[in-house]
Amino acid sequence: MSFDRRFVLKAAAVAACAVLAPSMPALAQQGPITIVVGSPAGGTTDTLARVIAQSLNKSLNRTVVVENRSGAGGNIAASYVAKAAPDGSTLLMSFTGHTINATLYKNLDFDPVADFTPITQVARVPSVLIARRGLPFKDVAGLIEYAKANPGKLSFAIGAQGSSLHLASEQFKTATGTDILNVPYRGTGPALQDVMAGTVDLMFASTVNVLPHRSGELIDFLGVTSREPLPQFSGVPAIAATVPGFESTAWFGLFGPAGMPAETTDTLYTAIKAAIDDPAYQKRMQHEAATANPMPPAEFAAFIRDDIAHWARIIEASGTTVQ
């Protein structure tokens, strides 16, 4: 990852401590807080969780650790947190897959809405369509032409089934009428490594993950999923310039188990918001082509319900299933 963690965390922690010191009796002087992440170390979700954890270590005067429970598109981690005690000691750092999975998986052992207490969103991140070096095209138009002439020959690395990056590949294939094979992975990091190694052809990857490789020689950058080009990826057009209307953005946010006391939820939200609002965090987000927009718990809860309905329409229209 290209996050300068020491720079971000030091500034964020100082700011959070100043803001929160008078208002933390509900969570101070208790046991550790665990932020559970449904992906392997090194991905965007994991990186954001560790940034927030380091800030909360200082602002709440508690040990905050990150625990990776990857698999099933984030459902293993979500199921674990849904069953945890609602005392603020076990939190979930989740992502767009949380609302996608509500429709994509038919037999979840938890309810993505009823079994959680939304705390806040911590970031929104667009993605980039990348290709391994050596393919006979360098842009989206060339990719579409080649894929139509060679159905089933190209492959998409899928960092996590049920993620926005998975759905971006499905949206792309539906919008362009192309047949491209999905190759599922247990996380963005391993998927990206295989694209750079030339094992898989294509991938939709988070801007946070691929920006460090912008000047490298292992992958080509074909297009960004934002409506407009991104200054951080100079010379890379929006996919929408070739595929009208194409857009895809991932969100990341923190949840607790259902039934968490309002005082606990509000204390956590205030602490996390202080870290997100810190100029150092905002600057780093901008550098990574991401945005940071903390939502109060009630607003985040409404967003989750709306996002479930949004992805349900896309999943049903595309016929997407999990393997």
Q: CB under 8 Å to 37, separation ≥6 — which residues?
A: 45, 46, 49, 66, 67, 68, 69, 70, 77, 93
Write b or e for each residue in 216-233: b if 16 or more Cβ atoms lie within 10 A of its Cβ, otherwise e. eeebbbbbbbbeebbebb
Confirm whether 5-125+250-318 and 126-241 share one CATH topology.
Answer: yes
Question: Is-contact 3 290, C-beta < 8 A?
Answer: no
Give the span between the Cα atoms of 300 and 255, in whole angstroms: 10
At 120, which helix (H) or strand (E)? strand 116-132
Ramachandran quadrant class, 105 (left: phi over 0; alpha: psi -120 to 50; beta: rest) = beta
The confidence score (pLDDT) of residue 13 equals 46
State the pairing for strand pair 249-257/90-95: antiparallel
- Alpha-helical regions (H) of 150-204: 164-176, 188-196
pTM assigned to the model: 0.79
- Take residue 193 and report the two structure tokens written for it: 């490594």
Residue 45 CA, distance from chain mean position = 5
One pLDDT digit (tens) per residue for the chain, 323 residues: 444 544 444 444 444 444 444 444 455 457 899 999 998 887 788 888 998 998 888 888 889 999 999 888 899 999 999 999 999 999 999 999 999 999 999 899 999 999 999 999 999 999 999 999 999 999 999 999 999 999 999 999 998 777 888 889 999 999 999 999 999 987 888 899 999 999 999 999 989 889 889 988 899 999 999 999 999 999 999 999 999 999 999 999 999 999 999 999 999 999 999 989 888 888 888 888 889 889 999 999 999 999 999 999 888 877 877 76
Residue 29, number of CB atoms within 10 A of its CB: 9
- What is the predicted pLDDT for the residue at 323? 61
What are the distances in angstroms from CA 69 to CA 85, 272, 302?
Answer: 17, 22, 26
Per-residue exposure over 110-133, b if at least 16 CB sit within 10 Å of its own CB, e if not: bebeebbbbbbbbbbbbbbbbbbe
According to the CATH classification, is domain 5-125+250-318 in 3.40.190.150? yes
DSSP letter assigned to residue 304: H
Rounded CA-CA distance 113/301 in Å is 8
Question: Which residue is listed with tokens 């319900």?
Answer: 305
Q: Which two tokens stand for residue 155?
A: 């492959």
CA nearest to 34, candidates 249, 229, 311, 255: 255
Of 6, 7, 17, 5, nearest to 270 (Cα)? Answer: 17
pLDDT at position 11, please? 46
Structure token digits, residue 287: 């550098």
User: What is the Cα–Cα distance from 200 to 197, expressed in whole angstroms?
Assistant: 8
Which amino acid is it at 156?
Answer: F
Classify 126-241 by CATH class.
alpha beta
CA-closest candidate to residue 187, choices 2, 41, 53: 41
- Chain centre to alpha carbon of residue 24: 29
Residue 213: both structure tokens together: 């490789």
65: β partners: 34
What pLDDT shows up at residue 318? 75
In 3D, which of 50, 60, 48, 59 has the Cα closest to residue 14? 59
All structural domains of the chain with their residue ranges: 5-125+250-318, 126-241
Structure-token pair, residue 297: 């718990």
